[in-house]
Amino acid sequence: MMPDGKASPILNSEISGCIRPIEITEPFSLPNGTCYRDIEEDIRKFNALSLQTTVAGLLHESALFLFRQFGWLTIQEIYLSRNPGKTPELIAKSRCRCGNIVTAPLRMLVDGSLNDCGCTTPLPKQEANKIIVYQSERPIRWTTTVDGIQWFGSRYIWFVTLTVGQRCFVRKYADTAKEALEIRRDAERQYFGRSIIDQYYEIMLAELEELEQIYVRRHPPEVPGISWDKTEKRWIARLWYRGKWILNKSFKTRKEAAKARYEAEVRYLGESTMPERYYV
Ligand SMILES: [Zn+2]
């Protein structure tokens, strides 16, 4: 049992995510938004927090992570969550590059298991219940005219939420616009007793499907982690997970490589980055 007000240290075996430690002392970002940082140093600093015995000391020391960038997430606030019966945990409130706001345990950002709000990579399944995604308040390219439905173009999927006040009742991905609309409609029916979607179903569906078609036409999907090896004349499929290559194999055809990547994502991430139909 962790003493009250302490942060539990991150073990090496827990380190995950696609993060390359490099020899720098200051974090910096590339123009494309990728952030490289000294992960070992971050973990040392995070673990040093566990020496703090008071809540005030803990919050004060955790300020060194404020306004830092972890993948696509920039930390804006850090606070202590003290749910009854549970170990107190430092929570980071961050803004994702896509505009969404995410709250998640600080340790998940530090150990690299969380790099974005779910708009670029699947959220870690086992800890998904600790992550809350709030839709961007400003109209950005990901939002749609249907309340609570977003298009994650970078993953070619739909994201559905139902948030009432501070509570999030639904937080689901959907492969198709139809599925997304139905998830939201059912959630509204369940929560409010009726849904505005019933009245405008056809119009809303047509609009969402059109958005997806336009996006896919302009940005043809590319299977991540596969490449052509010129020397060997073979296709390579890779997946980096929890600090190591769990898939690094060559195949005769592109199709086989894409299939291997899809299967590895489902097996290790719990779901694929894009709907299965795009792994071709
Ligand atoms: Zn995002």
Whole-model pTM over 0.75: no
Lowest mean pLDDT among 16-25, 57-66, 169-178, 194-203: 16-25
CA 265 – ligand 1 centroid, Å: 19
Q: Give the integer Cα–Cα distance in Å for 136 and 149.
A: 11
Q: List strands edge to edge, sheet with 69-70.
A: 69-70, 73-81, 89-96, 101-105, 132-134
Low-confidence winner among 59-73, 140-154, 189-203 (lowest mean pLDDT):
140-154
Tens digits of residue pLDDT in 210-257:
989 988 888 889 898 999 999 999 999 999 877 678 899 999 999 999
The answer to whether the beta carbons of residues 86 and 129 sit under 8 Å apart is no
Ligand 1 centre distance from Cα of residue 54 (Å): 33
Reference 111, options 28, 162, 180, 44; nearest CA is: 44
Neighbours of ion ligand 1 (CB under 5 A): 96, 98, 100, 116-117, 119
Q: Identify the CA nearest to 121 among candidates 148, 94, 156.
A: 156
How many angstroms does the Cα of residue 172 sit away from the middle of ligand 1?
14
Q: How confident is residue 277, by pLDDT bands cut at 50, 70 and 90?
A: very high
Q: How far is the CA of 246 from the centre of ligand 1 (A)?
A: 25
Q: Give 152 Cα–ligand 1 centroid separation in angstroms.
A: 8
How far is the centre of ligand 1, averaged over its atoms, from the C-alpha of 100 (Å)?
6
Give residue 99 CA to ligand 1 midpoint distance, Å.
6
Cα(92) to ligand 1 centroid in Å equals 15
Residue 95: helix, strand or coil by DSSP?
Answer: strand
The Å distance, Cα 97 to ligand 1 centre, comes to 6
| CA distances from residue 118 to 31, 94, 112, 160, 203 in whole angstroms, order as listed | 21, 13, 14, 12, 27
Tokens of 126: 């086992």
Give residues with Cβ within 8 angstroms of 209, minimum separation 6: 177, 178
Would you give the distance in Å from CA 112 to the centre of its chain?
11
| pLDDT band at residue 141 under the 50/70/90 scheme | low
Give distance in angstroms: CA of 206 to centre of ligand 1: 25
Instruction: Measure 86 CA to ligand 1 centroid, in angstroms.
Output: 28
Angle, alpha carbons 46-50-103 (nearest 5°): 55
Tell how far the Cα of 102 is from the centroid of ligand 1, in angstroms. Answer: 8
Q: 96: CA distance to ligand 1 center in Å?
A: 5
Residues 6 or more apart in contact with residue 258 via CB below 8 angstroms: 223, 226, 237, 279, 280
Say how many Å lie between the CA of residue 210 and the centre of ligand 1. 22
Strand order in the sheet with 157-164: 149-152, 157-164, 167-174
Angle, helices 196-218 vs 177-192, to 10°: value is 150
Q: Ligand 1 centroid vs 51 CA: distance in angstroms?
A: 33
Distance 103 CA to ligand 1 centre (A): 12
What is the C-alpha separation between 28 and 173, in angstroms, rounded?
Answer: 31
Taking the C-alpha atoms of residue 46 and residue 92, their distance in angstroms, rounded to an integer, is 13
Residue 91 is classified by DSSP as E
Task: For residue 170, list its beta bridge partners.
Answer: 162
Among 108-112, 139-143, 169-173, 195-199, the least confident range = 139-143
